[in-house]
Amino acid sequence: MDYDVIYIGSGNAAWQGGRFLRKAGLKILIIEESLYGGACANRGCNTKAILDAPYEIKALFNNYEGMGKSGNIEVDWPALVKYKRQRIAGMSLFLDGKFDEYDLDVAHGKGVIVDEHTVKVGDKCFTTDKIVITTGLKPVIPDIKGKEFLHDSNDFLDIDELPKHAIIIGAGFVGMEIAAILAEAGLEADVIIRGNMALKYFHQPYVNRVIELLKGKGIRFHFNEQVKEVINNVEIENPEEKIFSALQGLNTDEDLKDPESKKDNKAYENGFTVNCLSGLSLTGDYVVAAMGRTANVEDIGLENVGLTYTNKGIKVNGHLQTEVPNIYAAGDVADTGIAKLVTVAIHESKYLAKELLGEADEITYPAIPAVAYTIPRIATIGVPAYIAEKSDEYDVHTIRYGRSYSVVLKNDFNAEAKVIVDKDLQIVGAEIYAADAENVANMFAFIINQKITLEELDYMIYTFPSSSSVCLYKLHKIHYDFSK
């Protein structure tokens, strides 16, 4: 065999574990047809963090309206995108260097499974003892009339200028986070939602708070709607006529010479119409498909070894093993029933390294925090409030730490957490609504997974001022009020 393990895909689900296998003496090959590092490094987490941060800061600054705020923060999106491109451009090269440092072989091209022990890249075949599929997910583009006019999140996060009036199809992580950026930028958007709720895996009272904030900033929501078609309103065969249509309403020679004039033109802004089955019709200048992601397994040879898959991914057992014993799947492409997050992919990759070395039982997962990077953030971990509220096994306590400690929290008056405890007063879950909900969620992850008791929390001393310390201080009330 040429290799002990071949990974198809180079994201965190691959190299995080691959380096440990190489350290143990196994020969490893990572195959990648695009940029090294996968979606999170090049098109997802890092990109979103760079582009979101200035708008997060802007929102925090606005908390001081009438309390010292002078002037306004304006974000230069074109300059921000230019900076993003410069930073992200180095990620693939950085990881290529790390692969070399870890002594991991790489092959650039599409990896296609030929048989149980052979993977082909271009004209070259590589043999291996084990194959691990880590190809992740790809954006869903609905099969509707005008689908060629739809953009996905990758497109939006690399757009040169923000649209004045976007139409967003979907209200999951991607749709709501895009809407938050547009709202803070002072722009309009319509969000079309197939069901009756946005961010369905998060605490709905907190989601509704975010929605109300977004509504107040020019974002409109349309629930229980299904998109039928997208129409390009300025699609004209003659290029000269197309330019004339885009510039309708401009009357002077000076206007026609000024490309900036197009930005205020309604014909330009309303370049697309999205029609729904109900009869709802919306117009805007940019349409984003944010309808989730599906398994990225097209044309990688699954049929050659008899593997099947669904939109949720490739089915695996408790060892991340597919129906073909020597072929595994990890990360977003694996249908495990667990949240598809980069942190989960890393966990699975490290587990699989131990599994392939014969050092692991079935995979287990700790309580996993998830965050919607809206403004403010929403986070969830452990037993969700909607389950706890319907059960006699749990109690739900509302911790309004923003109301009590707004000075410490940079005037984040509405910071709040729903804390779920069992009958032994052990914290088993939390829902958080706050500007820095992601950090508070990590605190709860530690508490829940390490089974730290309220009494132990009460004994500890924390840094102050900080958001975690004031939230923890409010937790002590549960201990004093209800422990015996």
Q: Is the pLDDT of residue 253 over 70?
A: no
pLDDT of residue 264: 37
Q: What is the mean pLDDT of residues 196-217?
A: 97
N-to-C CA span, the chain: 64
pLDDT digits (tens, 9 = 90+) for 145-169: 999 999 999 999 999 999 999 999 9
pLDDT of residue 407: 85
Averaged pLDDT of the chain:
91
Phi-psi region of 338 (alpha: psi -120 to 50; beta: other; left: phi over 0): beta
pLDDT of residue 439: 95
Task: Work out the percent of the chain whose per-residue pLDDT is above 90.
Answer: 83
Q: What is the mean pLDDT of residues 110-121?
A: 98
Of the candidates 35, 31, 38, 25, the residue with the CA atom closest to the CA atom of residue 118: 31
Q: What is the mean pLDDT of residues 398-424?
A: 93
Of the candidates 177, 255, 249, 179, the residue with the CA atom closest to the CA atom of residue 218: 179
Q: Is the pLDDT of residue 27 over 60?
A: yes
Instruction: Look at 37-41, 171-175, 388-392 and tell me which has the smallest mean pLDDT.
Output: 37-41
Q: Is the pLDDT of residue 48 over 60?
A: yes
Two domains, one topology: 3-139+293-356 and 376-482: no
Pairing of strands 118-121, 124-133: antiparallel
Please state the CATH superfamily assignment of the domain spanning residues 376-482 in this structure.
FAD/NAD-linked reductase, C-terminal dimerisation domain (3.30.390.30)
- State the pLDDT confidence band at 259, using cuts at 50, 70 and 90: very low
- State the pLDDT confidence band at 240, using cuts at 50, 70 and 90: low
Q: What is the mean pLDDT of residues 359-365?
A: 96
Report, at the CATH architecture level, how domain 147-233+270-289 is classified.
Answer: 3-Layer(bba) Sandwich (3.50)
Q: What is the mean pLDDT of residues 256-271?
A: 45
| Amino acid (1-letter code) at residue 140 | V
**Tally of CB atoms within 10 A around 68:** 7
Instruction: Find the length of the chain.
Output: 484
- State the pLDDT confidence band at 475, using cuts at 50, 70 and 90: confident
pLDDT of residue 235: 66
* Domain 3-139+293-356 belongs in CATH node 3.10.20.30: no
- State the pLDDT confidence band at 484, using cuts at 50, 70 and 90: very low
User: 399-407 long-range CB contacts below 8 Å, 24 or more apart?
Assistant: 399/471, 399/474, 399/475, 400/474, 401/467, 401/470, 401/471, 401/473, 401/474, 402/434, 404/470, 404/474, 405/465, 405/470, 407/465
How far is it, in rounded angstroms, from Cα 89 to Cα 232?
32
Q: Is the pLDDT of residue 261 over 90?
A: no
pTM of the model: 0.89
Fill in the DSSP letter of residue 277: T
Q: What is the mean pLDDT of residues 443-460?
A: 95
Q: Is the pLDDT of residue 267 over 70?
A: no
Q: Considering just the CA atoms, what is the radius of gyration of the chain in Å? A: 25
Q: What is the mean pLDDT of residues 33-58?
A: 91
- More confident of the two residues 427 and 238: 427
Q: Is the pLDDT of residue 64 over 60?
A: yes
- State the pLDDT confidence band at 248, using cuts at 50, 70 and 90: very low
| Amino acid (1-letter code) at residue 199 | L
- State the pLDDT confidence band at 483, using cuts at 50, 70 and 90: very low
Instruction: Look at 46-60, 172-186, 242-256 and tell me which has the smallest mean pLDDT.
Output: 242-256
| Amino acid (1-letter code) at residue 273 | T
pLDDT of residue 187: 97
Listed by start position, the domains of the chain span: 3-139+293-356, 147-233+270-289, 376-482
Instruction: Look at 189-198, 241-250, 289-298, 332-341 and tell me which has the smallest mean pLDDT.
Output: 241-250
- Within 13 Å and on the Cβ side, how many CA atoms surround 110? 9
Q: What is the mean pLDDT of residues 390-403?
A: 94
